[in-house]
Structure 1
Amino acid sequence: MIPRLRRYAGTPSDLEEVTAPLIAVYAEVREPLLHLPNYSVQTFTERLERHGREPGFGVVLAFDAEDRPVGYAYGNTVENGDRWWQRMGEVDARFTSRPALALKEIGVTISHRGTGLARRIHDELLAGRSEAYVSLMVNAAAGDGKVRRVYESWGYTVIGTSQPSPASPVLAAMIRRTTAG
């Protein structure tokens, strides 16, 4: 069965509903990295609570036939001057002059990788959004560069680098137009 996608808006009740399945699927997706401070479940939970209160927060979860979460993505709207942009250094004003979607997290369990599920989740998160651009940050070393190449195949280009915290690796900051852009 093809996993079912569920979209959630940023209401407090939605955040409460998605927190447990998001944490569960995150822990499975990031299992090999959970011993690192930046990837721990506690750190993720703290980020999720903060991001869930930010403007334009939205989540897409994928569930298998047994209603287990097998993939996710979430993000929120960022505006000019937001710390999202500030962490990247100089960013071309054409990207920051209008609200953009910051894709904060995306992941798919091992058993569903290579099936196109990540792209389906990504596209569902972007569907119906009004932001002109979507931006993300990726560890350029992830999968020996494969993850960055996947994003490039989806139309993203590198616009800078960022290190969101001292415990974080240096990330490639990427951006692409949305269908609204």
Structure 2
Amino acid sequence: MTDIELRIHPRLTAPVRRTLIEVYSDVRAPLLHLPNYAVTAFAGRLDRHSSEPGFEAVIGYDAGQPIGYAYGNTIEHGDPWWSRMSRPTPGQITARPTLALKEIGVRTRWRGTGVARRIHDELLAGRSEEQVALMVNPAAGDGKVAALYQAWGYEPVNEVRPTPEAPPLIVMIRPILS
């Protein structure tokens, strides 16, 4: 494997959108038959998320080939993101400016190599928010994905089912370390 190049995209251009959808389609291939994971559902979420404050994406490349990505945007107190939780989330959490990590994925060949962590860390670098939050399917990878996020410093704080088509998810948060 050659050196991985990370490219930051502060807005969603047509080429960036195509690349994100291409990599998503490969990363989520086994799940694309499920309504919440369908490419059209992802594209709709991507378009909506990219219009929200603080949107930024990071795409990783190996020898010019896109191999993984992460993107997110800023959420603040009162953002609808917080209101979908199963239980009220404590004010000391929701009052802090937060980066909502909306998606992260790495193609199979590069999993377990540290690429996901590098993409994640690049997305967090230079952000002004105090914390980062994500939603994870507790069954993903037989629980290995949630365990990986815990190893990265995330702690579970709530549960959510963002849409009727989505599986129940765990909400995890960690500080953004500068």
Q: What range describes the TM-score normalised by the shorter chain of this pair?
A: over 0.9
Structure 2 unmatched ranges of 5 or more: none
Matched, 1:72 2:73: no
Is 1:140 the counterpart of 2:138? The answer is yes
1:53 maps onto 2:51 in alignment: yes
Aligned match of 1:149 in 130, 143, 147?
147
Q: Distance in 1 between matches of 2:49 and 2:152?
A: 24
CA distance in 2, matches of 1:60, 1:135: 17
Deviation at 1:43, TM superposition (A): 0.4
Separation in 2 of the partners of 1:30 and 1:95? 30
Separation in 2, partners of 1:6, 1:150: 23
Distance 2:128 2:15 in 1: 24
AA of the residue aligned to 1:95: I
C-alpha RMSD of the superposition:
0.9
Q: Deviations over 1:119-172 (max 9, x none)?
A: 000000000001001000000000110000000000000001000011100000
Percent identity of equivalent pairs = 55
Q: How much has 1:16 moved relative to structure 2?
A: 2.5
Partner of 1:6: 7
Contact 1:29 1:110 in 2 (8 A): yes
Equivalent of 1:82 in 72, 79, 82: 79
Q: CA deviation at 1:59?
A: 0.2
Give the Cα–Cα distance (whole angstroms) in 2 for the partners of residues 37 and 81 of structure 1: 28
How far apart, CA to CA, are the structure 1 residues paired with 2:37 and 2:71?
A: 16
Residues of 1 paired with 2:38 and 2:67: CA distance?
19
**How far is 1:53 from its partner?**
0.2
* TM-score, normalised via structure 1 length: 0.95
Please list every run of 5 or more consecutive structure 1 residues that lacks an aligned counterpart in the other structure. Answer: none
Deviation >2 Å, runs of 4+: 14-17
Give the structure 2 partner of residue 99 of structure 1: 97
Give the distance between the partners of 1:27 and 1:36, measured in 2 at CA. Answer: 13
Q: How many matched pairs?
A: 176
